[in-house]
Structure 1
Amino acid sequence: MNKFNNYFIRVFALVVLLISSRVFSAAATSSEPPVVHTKVIMSQFLQQLEALKKYMVSDAKFSDPKNTIEISEHLKKFSEISNAAMHDPQLQLESFKLSRDVLVQHIHETEKVYREGNKSYARWMLNSTIYVCMSCHTQTPAADRRSLLTKDSKNYFSQFEQAEFLFASRNFSEASRTYDSIIRGMVKDKNFEVEKSLQRQVAYYARVKRNPAEAVKVFKGYLKLKNLSEYMRRDLLNWINQFEKWQNDKSFNLATATPDSVIQFAKTNLEAANNLKIDSINPNLVNYLRVSGVLYEFLQNYPDSKVTPQILYWLAVCDRSIERNFFFSLADMYLRECITKYPADPVAKKCYAEYEKETVLGYSGSRGVDVPLSVRQELNALKEFVESGGKIKLDLKK
């Protein structure tokens, strides 16, 4: 079994165990009529994932024709529940709307891909759902949520699995302390856990705390650890360098930034990062997280800004540059948002070109011959919509 998927399943089992039981036990003891709210919707999502997990651990089981009916039913319910999220009062708020749309689109796309027969890709998308949660929860600085971990769950799940759950459920400070313990207690043959813990710490200091000075101090401490692999040492040095540059950068202040200066900030930093040739796994992670964090916050504060289409494009570029196992890439969702909501804006054609390229590569490398008919039809519809500047009707139901 793939180690990444194994961790995913166990972390989701922990989420189901803790959140679902608390939500429904509270409803059972209440004399008030049940009210559907965000927690219940999320708990219903998790119920479907709980039912699917026995198939998610194996590509052979997920692709086996004899399991198609059961998997299809759960994915269909998963998709139906996501429709309820579109009407949830809390998720209607502007600060949650885009993240909600991303999650709902991801769920609908997963069901569609499975229905169209690309079962391995559908399984990968389903296994990535927890990282959609992580991506959304770390977009802007956020306060900690109360921990739902119990003494029993701490005894049953590994330290890393606990940390992943804490991080996904927004108990960031406790998650950071747990990741720190994993890193400092580095165990042989557990480089996977150490590497992911280091990356989560980058996100914690770059996105959640936005504290480059503290990050430099912490990561310089990690450099002193014994048994640190050479590639981890290279990443740490690159990340420290970026945090130090951030710490000394007085040229940009989000509080006083104009729409045009935000775009220039993103363009300058991301184009410079893409031109660097460094022998490292993810040398520009700090820079991508910093820039995307600025873009997320500006978009949240000014959703109707004239530069929103450009922000969506740069968010896609940024997310595409962060490895998929770190967070789930929201790039495709942002590109679609740019295409469908702002077809008359010049940047929409740029968004479509990027979306088409990555869609084709995602299905079949560079050949393009394995793209399902329905996906080709969707691409053609989006292309015609953009080329008309939004003047023709967009029909994606074919």
Structure 2
Amino acid sequence: MSIGKVRFLKSLNIAFLCLGFSIISGFKDSSRSSPTEAFKPHMQSLYVSLTKLIAFALVDEDKLTDSQKKTIEAQILNLSQQAEEVRKIAKFSDKSHEFLAQELERNARLSYSNFRQGKISQARFFITDVANTCYSCHTSRQGETDSSFASNFNKGVDISSFDLLARARFFTLSRQFELAEINYEKLLSSHASSIDELVNVDPILEYLIVSIRVRHDIKKSLEFLKSIVSKNYPEVVKNDLRHWIVALEQNKSIQANESSLTVAKDLVSKARELSEFPADRSGMVQYILASKILINHLAKRGVLQSELAETYFELGRCERIIGNKLFADESSSYFENAIRLAPKTDLARKAFSRYEENIVSGYTGSSGTSLPEDERTKLSELRKLAY
């Protein structure tokens, strides 16, 4: 087995282990939200299937027996069926959760269809995307409390073979955010990441999302960034750190429950002023804080539809910058909602141009792949709504 494949399967195995915990604990506690009870049986069934699929990640596809293939197919089918039920129930949640549930269902369904066609590696790929979708969900907003369920269950899980990044992601997926933050800090203090990982995998951004957006640990994050800015990082990383330290100093008084659209828009404006070129990340802290405030704003009662449209548009702008290419991209969903809430307006047209760019570049890019028919249909629909 090649080194690349070993690394891939190792990360996939971790995703399988983590995902069982993340699915069960990914929504609010049932004492606060009765719809969670509807999710429970489907999430528990998903968990059972995924734990049985761990072996799938560890066996070369040419060594899978017919019996193993039948077991795998049955579990992926169940995964797909349960994800479809979760998608149906999530229609009654907010638009972000609804989008992520759609991604969950899509990836589970594609995993099953690829496995049925004998495309084993593609099936594994889409199951990894299921785990990535759960990671996106858990880091999209402030966490209420760490999951006691996962904390108790994880006592029986041996993570000694996980590297620090895998541990940090494991604890994030299982909603143990304090431990996730600790492991990200250990990783970033230890130089365990290569230059390639720092730039392309981006554990510093993952740390900021967990520490600021999920835990609202601004002062602790500030002190930690100060402690690592002098380390032997590439200059491009040091430059980001210096900007982020200043931003945290300037915004450390923002409260966890801040929900003002005006405050969020001001942060986005400051972030855009700092960005001298498209890939400039100088304003990342402002974007993360703004996204957190905008999510809080959506939860308020009595918000005018025009204001909701503006909130979704600003969220789309934030998520376009924050979004990690490994995880689910929510920005297109936010732009779509802005268009539907404010049709035939300047805002809708601005949202459509960004939505169109996301979709077209996502499918074509350098590969030259054409847009699927369903995406063409939706683009046409949204264009008519915008113009």
Matched with 2:132 is 131
Structure 1 contact 160–193 (Cα < 8 Å) conserved: no
Could you tell me which amino acid in structure 1 is paired with residue 317 of structure 2? Answer: V
Residue 287 (structure 1) aligned with residue 286 (structure 2):
yes
Distance verdict in 2 for CA 1:382–1:56, change over 3 Å: farther
CA 1:80/1:21 → structure 2, altered by over 3 Å: closer, same or farther?
A: closer
Match of 1:202 among 185, 208, 227: 208
Q: CA deviation at 1:290?
A: 0.8
Asked if residue 364 in structure 1 is aligned to residue 377 in structure 2, the reply is no
Does structure 2 retain, via aligned residues, the 8 Å contact 1:10–1:161?
Answer: no
- Name 2:220's counterpart in structure 1: 214
Amino acid at match of 1:351: A
TM-score by length of 2: 0.73
List aligned pairs for 1:303-314, cutoff 5 A: 304-306=303-305, 307-314=307-314
Kindly provide the CA deviation profile for residues 167-219 of structure 1, in whole angstroms up to 9, marking residues without a partner as x.
12221111111222222233375863796443232123321233433322111
Structure 1 vs Structure 2 CA RMSD: 4.5
- In the aligned structure 1, how far is the partner of 2:339 from the partner of 2:257? 26
**Residue pair 2:22, 2:175 contacting (<8 A) in 1 also:** no
Among candidates 15, 18, 25, match of residue 18 of structure 2: 15
Amino acid at match of 2:39: T
Following the alignment from structure 1 to structure 2, what is the Cα–Cα distance between the partners of residues 85 and 286? 33
CA distance in 2: counterparts of 1:21 and 1:299, whole angstroms: 24
Give the equivalent residue in structure 1 for 2:100. Answer: 103
Choose which of 161, 178, 186 in structure 2 pairs with 1:181: 186
Q: 1:209 to 1:193 in 2, by over 3 A?
A: same
The separation in 2 between residues aligned to 1:303 and 1:55, in whole angstroms, is 48
1:316 corresponds to which residue?
A: 316
Alpha carbons of structure 1 residues 214 and 367: separation in structure 2 relative to 1, 3 Å: closer
- Match of 1:375, SS state, is helix
User: Quick one: structure 1 residues 19 and 214, their matched pair in 2 at CA, closer, same or farther if it must change by over 3 Å?
Assistant: closer
Contiguous gaps of at least 5 residues in structure 1: 23-34, 62-68, 388-398
Per the alignment, residue 30 of structure 2 pairs with none
Could you tell me how far 1:7 is from its partner in structure 2?
5.6
Distance in 1 separating the partners of 2:202 and 2:312: 27
1:380 Cα deviation from its structure 2 partner: 1.7
Alpha-carbon contact 1:309-1:345 (below 8 Å) kept: no
Letter in 2 for 1:312: Y
| Structure 2 residue aligned with 1:32 | none
Describe the shift of the 1:38–1:217 C-alpha distance in structure 2 as closer, same or farther (beyond 3 A).
same
Name the CA shift for 1:56/1:208 in 2 (closer, same or farther; >3 Å): same
Residue aligning to 1:65? none
For the residues of structure 1 that align with 2:317 and 2:359, how far apart are their CA atoms? 14
Q: Structure 2: 5+ residue runs without aligned partners?
A: 26-35, 63-69
Paired residues for 1:1-398 under 5 Å: 1=4, 5-6=8-9, 8-15=11-18, 37-46=38-47, 78-86=79-87, 88=89, 96-110=93-107, 126-138=127-139, 139-146=141-148, 147=151, 148-150=153-155, 152-187=157-192, 189=194, 192=197, 196-225=202-231, 227-247=232-252, 255=258, 257=260, 259=261, 261-262=262-263, 264-265=265-266, 267-273=268-274, 275-277=275-277, 282-302=281-301, 304-306=303-305, 307-325=307-325, 327-343=327-343, 346-365=346-365, 370-387=370-387
Q: How many residues are treated as equivalent by the alignment?
A: 358
Greater mean deviation of Cα atoms: 166-175 or 99-108? 99-108
Question: Which SS does the other structure have where 2:233 is aligned?
Answer: coil
Structure 1 vs Structure 2: percent identity of aligned residues? Answer: 19
- 1:79 deviates by 4.6
Question: 8 Å contact 1:352–1:382 — kept in the other structure?
Answer: yes
Q: Deviations over 1:194-247 (max 9, x none)?
A: 96443232123321233433322111111244x434443233222212212323
Task: Provide the C-alpha distance between the structure 2 equivalents of 1:362 and 1:123, rounded to a whole number of angstroms.
Answer: 21
Query: 2:101 & 2:279 partners in 1: Cα distance?
Result: 37
